[in-house]
Chain A
Amino acid sequence: MHMLVCGGTGCRASASDAIVETLNSELAAKGMENEVQVIMTGCFGFCEKGPIVKILPDNTFYTQVTPADSAEIVAEHIVKGRKVNRLLYTDPENKEHISDSKHMGFYKKQLRIALRNCGVINPENVEEYIARDGYQAIGKVFEMGAQATIEQMKKSGLRGRGGGGFPTGLKWEIASKNHADQKYVVCNADEGDPGAFMDRSILEGDPHSVIEAMTINGFCIGATKGLVYIRAEYPLAIKRLQIAIDQAREYGLLGKDILGSGFDFDIELRYGAGAFVCGEETALIHSMEGERGEPTVKPPFPAESGYLGKPTNVNNVETFANIPVIILKGAEWFSAIGSEKSKGTKVFALAGKINNVGLIEVPMGTTLREVIYEIGGGIKNGKKFKAVQTGGPSGGCLTEKHLDTPIDYDNLLAVGSMMGSGGMIVMDEDDCMVSVAKFYLEFTVEESCGKCSPCRIGNKRLHELLERITKGEGTMEDLDRLRNLSHVIKDSSLCGLGQTSPNPVLSTLDNFYDEYVAHVTERKCPAGQCKSLMQYVIDQEACVGCTACARNCPVNAIAGDRKKPHVIDTSICIKCGACIEKCKFNAISIQ
């Protein structure tokens, strides 16, 4: 019997370490430590319900487990063979317990390729990876040869999962054709989109898949050195990756003459300081070289002149994670999954006002509706769906009318958003779209490297305009400026950051124009989010003059005699909401 405990960063933050400990001690107390093995795995994805403990072979999926539950799980499930019902997932529809995760809405529509081993194996044990066909792909590649492998990659239709969507096989082919005494393979693990954590999860849950893929990549393009550029704030991923590299070296899967092929390849880690722009490949390379992390004009592309001026192939973690499976199962198998121009699956980080927050992997072509309602379980607290932001901070906000769009690179671009690295943030009726755009701009202003003027100054100005609008100081002219400025920044910025940073502004202008107009003409925030535009008003009919509000107002903005209707002096009011909380007669409202 096996007990798999989620060891992703999220579940560890919720004490999954302690769960492993208590499970082990409970098992020992029952003398079952040799019959049941407790294994810490990578992320299961269903973070909303973490920490997760899964019991094999019966596939029982316990949710929101605490260390205190360990005794009961061992006593009931392990010893007596009875499931602990209170820890099982409850179907939100029919309120029935679901024991096996494959029957849950969250997992039903998922197809896990990149995440195939996450939550399944112990990432710190190479043998578990090998047991799941690990390092067979590299053997097959040695037999097929570099050229045939690149052909397979091209045929598979795999495109870069970091956001650019460039065909991976083609990228490899270009790098393979550039001759040099030294070439490099770089794994981009500088996951920078707020809320996105698929790369971290893969490295935490299945580091060997990335190591194997990088080795395959090195063999195909003729590179003997691999570098993983990983942000220093991913300590667990770094630790597990380093363990995996050490184990791979020990097993002869990295280093000299890998598997007797005569091919040498080794991997080093490079730490990033967490700059968003360093996800852009030229900036990433400069950062690795010890230079300032800022992009340079392409061409030359890294495939021509990359790390230390040598031909370099840069792929993202998720892209790499797909590769061993593609090699083993074949390009046809992979290209049968997904949509016409986007093959395979994509991992998304579901976040925001959605019931099932977590990490999911679905075939390309799945619709937004399926993701949000079927996998994501719909909007939290029964609220109305308003928008979904895809593609991270520089993606666009899509609405109700886009819900049936099959998700792939081209469809998302066509509707004014993008795939990005796969962030997906859901908003409900309470979200003000102007504030949402402002929030994202805050991020890009902070993360712009400052090299080119449209991005350095333009985004700052966009943010200032949005700030004015949310404060009720905007004009209709400002809306035109917002649009023009956004277009110019997109059209003229140096790298992908500036070329996409205005997307949240443009997409909200396109899809929620009325909301902007309400802010500037009526000085109102329809979602009731923009504090400066709110006014607290006491309904003179409903107020009984109990004085509760006046007594609780921290700034003495409320006046009125006992048993007489009270009045709020809006020039003093700080809109803290204390009065509403205290009013028992629903007499105070926000207008």
Chain B
Amino acid sequence: METVKLTIDNRQVEVPSGTTIYKAAKLLGIDIPVLCYMDLGDMNIENKPGGCRICVVEVEGRRNLAPSCSTNCAEGMVVKTHTMRVINARRTIMELILSDHPKDCLTCAKSGNCELQDMAVKLGVRNIPGQEYAEMSTYKTDFSPSIIREMDKCIMCRRCETMCNTVQTVGALSAVNRGFTAVVAPAFEQDLEKSPCTYCGQCVAVCPTGALTEVDSTPKVIRALADPTKTVIVQTAPAIRAALGEEFGMAPGTLVTGKMVAALRQIGFDHVFDTDFAADLTIMEEGTELLDRLTRHLNGDKKVKLPILTSCCPGWVNFFEHNFNDMLDVPSSAKSPQQMFGAIAKTYFADKMSVKREDLVVVSVMPCLAKKYEAQRDEFKVNGNPDVDFSISTRELAHLIKEFNINFADLADEDFDRPLGESTGAAVIFGATGGVIEAAVRTAYEVHTGKKLPKMDFNELRGMEGIRSATIDFDGLPISIGIAHGLGNARKLLEDVRSGKANYHAIEVMACPGGCIGGGGQPLHHGDSSILKARAAAIYREDAEKPIRKSHENPYIQKLYEEFLGKPMSEKAHHLLHTHYFDKGNKDVFI
């Protein structure tokens, strides 16, 4: 490998050619401050527009200062990172950025978790000269079902654009206008709701300021909890337990299932249930649908569509409704676990408890912002009453726990309530990329072959590669499986399917890189893939420790079918647990 030697702050370093000054300095333990820069690690994607100019350094022989995040090292280069010239420029630039940024830190959703705030502290900015007559660029606040855009707080780092366009290929966000009024927005500064946004929330996850935040549903949850006429139940998605601890200073990958249940009970939920239960139910329905389509296909039915695509991810559902509207009959019709849970809770469980639908409030805790939108979809309402009333993110739950004076670290572990709290290992792994399809395989194999699974762990389906494929031997029948996480990868895979280049029986797609563990509602990981890996490891650990690891063996699922649903894909199951998709094309996007 070709290398270059250079000097940074009087210290020698040798780096592979093509290394940026910023990264070379890091090797020496020199932390050049960066603001717009973002490294997505394993994805091999960097956001380095060279826009904020906070990372400028002095390079000997160069006329002007160099942005260290986007300037490559050269042989013999002499770099200085903290000369008077650099410090003055850096601080002046920071003052400029702050001069066009609201000063309402105290009430900002990102307060305490804001990279701009941290940078102001690091650079020691104590006043903003001329603030009293400095005009600010202002924009209308854009409220969508999941995401709030308060672009007065945008610093044009363009990270959201990288997520939306390069990683997710959604194309909802890009820079519009010029000069002082330049801002990141949907085309023509339309509202997000009119854009092809999928609400995956990856933009929110990387926004360094409070410009992009989730819709905060906790006040509504608190109000419901305080209402004596309401029975308030909660479901928590599999990915929460592997990440919530981070909000309380625990290491990434710490499993906090028991503490989380205890905290939810202390908050005052009447029943603490698990979305994992509904994940097992999803496997029953989706797995049966897969086998049904597969059998018909093998029997020569030309009308049957394969591959079957998973449909538990609402960001992904939004994405294909916008971008693959010619393939709306390809995804599984099974609802997502969140919505299956809501549908069962407001029928089966409400009946059991003799609670009226209107008096039962279902709250979901999700690693996801698209779930907020999903819960509000009209097809998931009965007479205007939604199956899931409120969906809050992992971050919002952490806020709620803190607001409710609960010392999370000291909580003793508790168990979920029955019957909607019982789940298997197959359900837990829904939280990581490849997990849904692995869970489906575990059940489909046994149902299809009538034999016991020879192994439980399908390592060929796990991992962090953006697009993966594997062939699973169903006792002589090779089942070809594709997996994509991140919508950009999903687009590639689906385009190959559409063009006939790729042939699969089943494909799992998760909108967020890493799957739900990397969801837009999770504790901010700033693109650090080691955090995602630790969360995934935790998920698989929980699976391994579960006594039951196959969805169809969940006794409460079996009971649900016996008592209520009949069998998978029965008429009742169809009515409650399946849905259909809408052509969102792009026809009303630019109107």
Contacts and interface: CB of A to CB of B under 8 A. Distances in A.
**Residue of B93, B177, B181 with most chain A CB atoms under a 10 A cut-off:** B93
Interface stretch (A56-64, A330-338, A398-406, A457-465): A457-465
A451 B51 contact: yes
Interface string A474-486: 0000100100110
Interface string A435-476: 000000000011111111110111111001100100000000
**Residue of B50, B72, B180 with most chain A CB atoms under a 10 A cut-off:** B180
Given A451-B51, A454-B53, A492 B64 contact: yes
A499 B100 CA distance: 21
Given A492-B64, A499-B64, A450 B180 contact: yes
A294 B183 CA distance: 13
A97 interface: no
B171 to A, nearest CB: 12
A518 B135 CA distance: 26
B139 to A, nearest CB: 13
Given A297-B50, A491-B89, A457 B175 contact: no
A23 to B, nearest CB: 45
Contact of A448 (B51, B135, B179): B179
Interface stretch (B126-134, B230-238, B507-515): B126-134
**Residue of B49, B53, B88, B89 with most chain A CB atoms under a 10 A cut-off:** B53
Contact of A464 (B48, B50, B135, B175): B135
B93 A492 contact: yes
**Residue of B92, B99, B175 with most chain A CB atoms under a 10 A cut-off:** B92
A275 interface: yes
Given A458-B96, A460-B135, A464-B135, A445 B53 contact: no
Contact of B130 (A445, A481, A492, A493): A481
A452 B53 contact: yes
Contacts of A275: 178
Interface in A276-299: 277, 292, 294, 296-297, 299
B156 A494 contact: no
A299 B71 CA distance: 8
Given A491-B64, A491-B65, A450 B182 contact: yes
A490 interface: yes
B133 A494 contact: no
Nearest to B67: A297
Contacts of B174: 292
A299 B20 CA distance: 12
A445 B180 contact: yes
Contacts, number: 111
Interface residues of B, number: 38
B99 A457 contact: yes
A488 interface: yes
A277 B48 CA distance: 20
Contacts of B96: 453-454, 457-458, 461
Interface string B106-134: 00000000000000000000000110011
Contacts of A296: 49-50
A470 to B, nearest CB: 13
Given A453-B52, A464-B133, A447 B178 contact: yes
A395 B266 CA distance: 68
Nearest to B177: A450
Given A451-B175, A490-B64, A468 B100 contact: no
A360 B181 CA distance: 38
Contacts of A456: 156, 179-180, 182
B524 interface: no
Contacts of A446: 178-179
Contacts of A459: 179
A417 to B, nearest CB: 16
A445 B179 contact: yes
A458 B178 CA distance: 14
Contacts of B67: 297, 494
B443 interface: no
A292 B65 contact: no
Interface string B46-79: 0011111100100000001101001110000000
A461 B99 contact: yes
A488 B99 contact: no
Interface string A335-364: 000000000000000000000000000000
B179 A449 contact: yes
A297 B179 contact: no
Interface string A258-276: 0000000000000000010
Nearest to A478: B130
Interface in A489-504: 490-494, 499
B507 to A, nearest CB: 31
A480 to B, nearest CB: 10
Contacts of A484: 88, 92
20 contacts: A294-B175, A445-B180, A450-B181, A451-B51, A451-B182, A453-B53, A453-B93, A453-B96, A453-B155, A456-B179, A457-B180, A459-B179, A460-B135, A484-B88, A484-B92, A490-B64, A491-B64, A491-B65, A492-B64, A494-B50
Interface of B: 48-53, 56, 64-65, 67, 70-72, 85, 88-89, 92-93, 96-97, 99-100, 129-130, 133-135, 155-156, 174-175, 177-183
Interface of A: 275, 277, 292, 294, 296-297, 299, 445-454, 456-461, 464-465, 468, 478, 481, 484-485, 488, 490-494, 499
**Nearest 3 CB-CB pairs, A to B?**
A450-B182, A448-B179, A457-B96
Given A449-B179, A450-B180, A465-B130, 20 more contacts: A292-B175, A296-B50, A297-B67, A450-B175, A451-B182, A452-B52, A452-B53, A453-B156, A454-B53, A454-B96, A457-B100, A464-B130, A481-B130, A488-B92, A488-B93, A491-B64, A491-B89, A492-B56, A493-B53, A493-B64
